[in-house]
Structure 1
Amino acid sequence: MHYFTDEQIGTLFVDNQFVQIIPPKSVFGMCEFKHKLILGKFKLQDSRINDVLAASIEQNAPAQMAQFCVQMQVGANQAGLRFEDDLLVEILPPGTKRLYWQNNCKQHMQTIELSDGYQLSEQMVQQLLQPKLRQKEVQGDSSVLIAQVPAYHLGVLKVNGKVEKLLDAGITAYWRFNREISVDIVDTRLQTIEISGQEILTRDKVNLRINLVANWCYTDVLTAYAKVAQPTDLLYRQLQFALREAIGTRTLDELLENKTVIDEVINAHMQTNMAGYGIETVSVGVKDIILPGDMKIILSQVVEAEKAAQANVIRRREETSATRSLLNTARVMENNPVALRLKEMETLERIAERINKISVVGGLDQILHGLINIQPKI
């Protein structure tokens, strides 16, 4: 004996042929004396009927099908929305024919003409989002593209690879049936792109590693996507070309003497080559210039030699200036005894500063005269 609850329904096959539907709340007994019997048992809450079983029911038990089943059919250029208790539970693709068990839920279908357009109405978008808020998925929702465009962004809508229009911030949805559709999210604010680890030879064959940073923004999003599939890739390549132009045509000494020349050359290149593409570079700057290890040692030696030479020149200049000052002083004292006397007193003062005790014999006047009258022995 087999018992069916009010939430169960059954099917009976005799010798692999469908015979009947067994209603809920039934008690069914089987005797396999001469025939092979197969009894199927299904939950009504799993409402969809297998396509093979549905075809057997439609062919062999049309009266029971009308009593226990709900049939839904969608045209070749239509989409179907299946509801249970006014809640969207499934999206049916074009050309679909399906059978469902009747259960405690009120089931109905709404058809959408795809020829009227590929954008879903605002009401339909809310119907798609509502089951997600209730944590219940909609079967077949992959047939709809839901585009969520954040604030300060734009959406670029592409249909069959062609740019159709720009989408403002918000939520919109589009049918994917009979077409290829996609939405690219574009940030309209100022953005930063880095060109890192670019190894470039200077004109004098010195290998430099350069890191570049550029700030950029879109000036015309539609123009950018109409002319280039990936605008950011074009921007990256043009920055690479500009950097190689700035480095490869100059020697290392030229770059070190005028570090701003790199930024100037890159800015000029970008203004010329990115005109008309809907992208603008606001500022460009070299972040790092990394020299090879042996070149660092050589440059350090060069800088050290230059600084030593500069120090030597300054030292010689000061010595020359001091000698010239002494010569001028000697000429003044040669013709002026008073100046000579003052110099003697200055010298005596310096000596006295380094002596703790002085014994004077013959008076101060004798010391002063003795200082200038000392003659070497012949």
Structure 2
Amino acid sequence: MLGLKKINVADNERVLMFRQNRLEQVLQPGEHKLFDWKGELAFTHYDITKPELTHHLGRFLITAYQELLGDEVVSFDLKDSQIGLVYFDGKLVNILAPNSFRMYWSKAVNIEVKVLDISENYTVPKALLAQLVRNKGTVIYQVGLNSVYYIEVPDNHVGLLKVNGKLEKLLKPGNYGYWRFNRNIEVNRLDCRLQNLEVSGQEILTKDRVSLRINLSASYRIIDTEKVATLLKNHSEFLYREFQLALREVVGTRSLDAILEDKDIVNQVVEKQIKAKAQAYGLEVVDVGVKDIILPGDMKSILNQVVEAQKAAEANLIKRKEETQATRSLHNTAKVMEGNPTLMRLKELEVLERVTGKIDHMTVYGGLEGIMKDMVKLTGDLPK
């Protein structure tokens, strides 16, 4: 029939009927026959199993046609200090940012929006935080990443919570979540365990203008996290620079010989200088040690020659001392034998024993006295 329109509305649908752009009716499931002689009617179909109702005039529809919409549609208009947790049939499905406006069809699912005021308390409750971060790959997990700043503080660490660039609190080991809305959240983690710092390849001139390359190793720990957080931008860079300066001061005011004679002096002076300064910034220097002192190639060759000459001189001195001692011993022995013919005779027999010990075969004529006369010429009379 001319001018007659038939609209079928499924059980899972609602239809907004507009006449000349004015909402006139919410069509319920069923068949509707409507006369539209002048072509003034417009219809918008909605699947209410997808609860969110989107319309470019959403706020106006709620304000102007609340009575017409009745209990078919519920709306939520959040303030700038509020967020909304949206639940469909008891299941968290979305998080609404401050100043959000949403409309939902209320007949297909049970709609609940929990409104939270984050003007003062911006910490995510533990139970909610666990729900948001444990189901990776889900829609709500992605929503949580966009809405919540999540951080894990491991054992032996301290977290520094900064809000809008200002340090608010220190966080003990654990899991934390903060709403990202209306503020800039940042958490820096500090490792409070013993840490190593390597200061390598430092080219430094000694007092006598010898270029040395020094490698230093140090260990330290954080003892006052608040000082470290407020006074230092990067504590490891701070320590590295201080060790560099201390090394240059210690090495630059000493000669090469002084450094090589007492290598520990570098460790002791550097450690003493750095410890007090580091403690003022919340750091404890536990140990400092020079790993390597590397000389230039030509200087290394010269020093090797010096060491070689020193060792050769020491060896010659020891040899001369031994020769002197041997000569003195022989002299003393000779003086003793000179006044003691019996001892002299025993010494002769000892020498004779050594000589005959090297002879494989010997024929003796005249007995022992013949041997003594033929092989050994005595300077005095034999003892009776």
TM-score, normalised relative to structure 2: 0.78
Residue 265 (structure 1) shift: 0.9
Q: Quick one: which of 213, 229, 232 aligns to 1:228?
A: 232
Which residue of the partner structure matches residue 129 of structure 1?
130
Shift of 1:58: 6.5
Task: State the alpha-carbon separation in 2 of the partners of residues 365 and 3 from structure 1.
Answer: 155
Q: Could you tell me which residue of structure 2 aligns to residue 252 of structure 1?
A: 256
**Alpha-carbon distance in 1 for matches of 2:49, 2:244:** 61
2:143 aligns to what SS in structure 1? coil
Deviations 1:245-273 (A, max 9, x none): 33332233222221211220121011232
Is the 8 Å Cα contact of residues 246 and 265 (structure 1) preserved in structure 2? yes
Residues 25, 359 of structure 1: CA spacing in aligned structure 2 closer, same or farther, 3 A cutoff? farther
CA distance in 1, matches of 2:22, 2:256: 89
2:93 maps to 89
Give per-residue Cα distances to partners, 1:30-71, cap 9 Å, x unaligned: xxxxx9xx9998876665566748579769987886676543
**Aligned partners of 2:149 and 2:177 also within 8 Å:** yes
Instruction: Specify the structure having the higher radius of gyration (Cα).
Output: 2
1:313 matched to 2:325? The reply is: no
DSSP-derived class of the 1:254 partner: helix
The Cα of 1:75 is off from its aligned counterpart by: 0.6
d(CA) in 2 for partners of 1:94 and 1:289? 62
Other-structure match for 1:164: 168
Counterpart of 1:298?
302
* Bigger mean CA deviation after superposition, 154-163 or 125-134: 125-134
Inter-CA distance 275–128: structure 2 relative to 1 (3 Å threshold): closer
Q: Which residue of 2 aligns with 1:210?
A: 214
Q: Structure 1 counterpart of 2:285, which letter?
A: T
Q: Does 1:272 align with 2:276?
A: yes
Indicate whether 1:285 and 2:289 are aligned. Answer: yes
Structure-2 residue corresponding to 1:32: none
For the 8 Å contact 1:92–1:140, the answer to whether it is kept is: no
Structure 1 spans left out of the alignment, 5+ residues:
29-34
Q: Distance in 2 between matches of 1:45 and 1:365?
A: 139
Pair 49,336 (structure 1): closer, same or farther in 2 beyond 3 Å: farther
Q: Which runs of 5+ in 2 are unaligned?
A: 1-6, 33-38, 380-384
Report the Cα offset of residue 371 of structure 1: 3.8
Deviation at 1:152, TM superposition (A): 2.6
User: What whole-Å deviation, never above 9, does each CA across 1:230-259 have from its counterpart, x for those lacking one?
Assistant: 233222222222232333322332222212
Q: Which residue of 2 aligns with 1:31?
A: none
Does structure 2 retain, via aligned residues, the 8 Å contact 1:19–1:60? no
Answer yes or no: is 1:239 the counterpart of 2:240: no
- One-letter identity of the residue aligned with 1:91: I
Q: C-alpha separation between the residues in 2 aligned to 1:175 and 1:12?
A: 40
Residue 351 of structure 1 corresponds to which residue in structure 2?
355
Q: Mean Cα displacement is larger for which, 43-52 or 222-231?
A: 43-52
Name 2:121's counterpart in structure 1: 117
Tell me what 1:155 maps to: 159
CA contact (8 A) 2:76 2:103 kept: yes
Distance 1:106 1:285 in 2: 69
Question: Aligned residues, how many?
Answer: 365
Looking at structure 2, the residues matched to 278 and 190 of structure 1 have their Cα atoms a distance apart, in angstroms, of 14
> What whole-Å deviation, never above 9, does each CA across 1:153-202 have from its counterpart, x for those lacking one?
22222122222221222233223322222122222332222223333333
Q: Does 1:185 align with 2:189?
A: yes
Hey, what's the Cα distance between the residues in 2 that align with 1:292 and 1:63? Answer: 93
Shift of 1:335: 3.5
Which of 261, 265, 268 lines up with 1:261 in the alignment?
A: 265
CA RMSD of aligned residues (A): 3.9
Q: Distance in 1 between matches of 2:88 and 2:316?
A: 96
